[in-house]
A and B are shown apart, each in its own frame.
Chain A
Amino acid sequence: MATLESLADVLRSKNAGPFQITIDIMFEKNDDYRRVLEAGVLTSERIARLYKVVPEKVRIIPFDRVRAIKITLPRRWGTRGSGSGFDRDVYGAQQHGPLCGLEIP
């Protein structure tokens, strides 16, 4: 077992426009990329539970060319757009936290 954070070389989140967050998980080694993809841990159901959204709102798109997995979901804070009242993260740059400790077999 290893955590997603220890396998990934880039693990970041950012706004994709003011109403969505996009998370990039990038791997230096193809083996690690394939391991995470094939582990079946990054499913829309699992991510939906971590972020408390419905699974239909979670998009997971692998990008083989750069050994990266992209996850896009609606904002959980500042739901009236980034920087709206009582937002927690205007740039969406620290929203990958719930994924860091995911155990990958």
Chain B
Amino acid sequence: MINLVKKSGEGHMEEMRIVALNGNLGYGYDVQSLEAGLSLKPQLLGGDAGSTDAGPYYLGSGTALVKREQVHRDLSNALIRARAAKIPFVIGSAGMAGGEPNLQWVKRILIDIAREEGLHFKLATIHAEIDKAEICKALRNGSITPMDDVPELTQDSVMQSERIVGQMGTQPFANALAAGADVVLAGRSCDTAIYAALPIARGYDPGLALHMAKIMECGAQCAIPLAPNDSLLGVIRQDHFLIRPLAQHRICTPDSVAAHTMYEQGDPLVIYEPEGRVDLDQAEFEQIDRQTVRVSGSRFTAAPRLRIKLEGARRIGYRAFTIAGVRDASVIRNLDVIESTVRGAVRRNLSVAVKDADFRLEFTYYGRDAVLGELEPDRHIPPREVGVLIEVIANDQLTASYVLSLARSSFLHCPFEGRKTTAGNLAFPFSPSDIEAGQVFEFSAYHLMDVDDAASLFPIEYEEV
């Protein structure tokens, strides 16, 4: 392994080293990898804790996808070591969605760890929920733009939202670090801001910094073997950056790093961030030792004005569902007939107080076309077994469970032409068979908002822990 650490020159930093803990706080990482990274004396340790990947529920409900024990483990190993190394530890998109309850949940865990371990530090908490009145005002001023394939934002969808967060860019992080925060805990953040804020503030090229950050935010996902649950090193210099996995058995290659650049991105050649865009068509990727890739040529163009991405979630109802198997070939042949008979039976037997508009009942057939629906090219091939998902979303839990119960019993005993399996059409794996799944949300906002002052949108609270 070549020595990656260049000596800092007189009054001028030749390089900045940053360690990414992993791809998602709570997914775990190898403590040896983290220690290997910290032994290189990095200037910052970062971790991304959130995403919209798992859907709108976490923003709507204010809860996290990962469990407290997972976050406690990942945070404590990192916090203890970051404090010992006296380097800032930066966490973005706290608690998955980065809303206020998500942020407070992670903050409580962080403070518990500090007490347990006797750690003291200056904590900056950056809030990311945006006032609905502010968004309505922006809507009236025409300064809201939908992302591609997203419906127009309306005042109703703003007001019906459980909460709306903004994805903060690098500025709030840079402000917190400049104020001397040892630990920065931020609500919803651009993944890149966690890792790019410090290098940009220290004068490194924003194109390189944002591109490096974009690769780092998934941990060692850009390595071979790939792992969102392992640590990664980024080293930024004047005209290039280096990416290296911190576990000895992983490597980065020009292909693995370049390929990761296009992951989950609509456009493989451009990264869009609040600060501007990074064009990658001239980017070059070069292997410089067994594990390390050197990247150069990422070009930054500043945005004419700052735009913040909004994410909102609204509750659309409550879910109840059941799953059951079918093995009988005549049931499988008659699924569509059974489904329409069941719909009729449910409507006939439901109380007149429950209106059609109060619920939606749907049937999904695993083994036939559950994943692709009408896009399934092979849906004409009769499967040997089918998994039936019966799902209801209603205005309240009681109605959802009530409709499901009727649909389940009607399906189990549904008659059809040529039926031989007269004791029951379904094999239930569980008792009880019906699951009350609680609140259902949808994204009510996924729009860009023109912003004059990022600092006022994302207030920072400082405290000594």
B316 contacts A85, C-beta separation under 8 Å: yes
B363-386: CB near A (< 8 Å → 1, else 0) gives: 010000011111111000000000
Closest chain A CB from B60 CB (angstroms): 9
Q: Which of B54, B149, B263 contacts A90 (CB 8 A)?
A: B54
Complex Cα distance, B295 from A65, in Å, reads 13
B388-404: CB near A (< 8 Å → 1, else 0) gives: 00010100000000000
Count A-B pairs with CB separation below 8 Å: 132
A15 contacts B264, C-beta separation under 8 Å: yes
Chain B, interface size: which category? 35 or more
Question: Contacts of B374 on A, CB cut-off 8 Å?
Answer: 52
A20 contacts B268, C-beta separation under 8 Å: no
Tell me whether B443 is interfacial, beta carbon within 8 Å. Answer: yes
Closest chain A CB from B343 CB (angstroms): 15
A19 contacts B149, C-beta separation under 8 Å: yes
Complex Cα distance, B267 from A72, in Å, reads 8
Complex Cα distance, B260 from A63, in Å, reads 12
B265 contacts A22, C-beta separation under 8 Å: yes
A49-77: CB near B (< 8 Å → 1, else 0) gives: 01110000101010101101010101111
Closest chain A CB from B307 CB (angstroms): 15
Within 8 A of B (CB), among A69-105: 70, 72, 74-77, 80-91, 94-95, 97-98, 101
Within 8 A of A (CB), among B228-270: 255, 258-259, 262-269
B56 contacts A16, C-beta separation under 8 Å: no
Q: Which of B52, B53, B285 contacts A65 (CB 8 A)?
A: B285
Residue of A nearest to B441 (CB): A83
Closest chain B CB from A95 CB (angstroms): 7
Interface size for A (C-beta < 8 A) is: 44
Decide yes or no: A74 and B149 within 8 Å by CB, A85-B393, A88-B370 being known contacts.
yes
A66 contacts B255, C-beta separation under 8 Å: yes
B52-64: CB near A (< 8 Å → 1, else 0) gives: 1111110000000
B371 contacts A97, C-beta separation under 8 Å: yes
Question: Contacts of A68 on B, CB cut-off 8 Å?
Answer: 259, 262, 268
Q: Which of B149, B269, B360 contacts A75 (CB 8 A)?
A: B149
Tell me whether A4 is interfacial, beta carbon within 8 Å. Answer: no
B147 contacts A17, C-beta separation under 8 Å: yes
A17 contacts B259, C-beta separation under 8 Å: no
Question: Contacts of A19 on B, CB cut-off 8 Å?
Answer: 147-150, 443, 446
Decide yes or no: A52 and B375 within 8 Å by CB, A22-B265, A90-B54 being known contacts.
yes
B266 contacts A17, C-beta separation under 8 Å: yes
Residue of A nearest to B443 (CB): A81
Q: Which of B52, B56, B262 contacts A66 (CB 8 A)?
A: B262
Tell me whether B442 is interfacial, beta carbon within 8 Å. Answer: yes
A11-28: CB near B (< 8 Å → 1, else 0) gives: 000111111101010100
14 contacts across the A-B interface (CB closer than 8 A): A16-B264, A17-B446, A18-B55, A19-B147, A19-B149, A19-B443, A20-B149, A22-B264, A22-B266, A81-B442, A83-B443, A85-B442, A88-B371, A98-B376
Residues of A bordering B, CB below 8 Å: 10, 14-20, 22, 24, 26, 50-52, 57, 59, 61, 63, 65-66, 68, 70, 72, 74-77, 80-91, 94-95, 97-98, 101
Q: Which 9 A-B pairs have the closest CB atoms?
A: A83-B55, A81-B443, A84-B442, A74-B149, A16-B266, A63-B268, A72-B266, A19-B149, A66-B258
6 new A-B contacts, CB < 8 A, other than A15-B264, A90-B55, A98-B372, are A61-B268, A80-B151, A85-B440, A86-B362, A87-B55, A91-B53
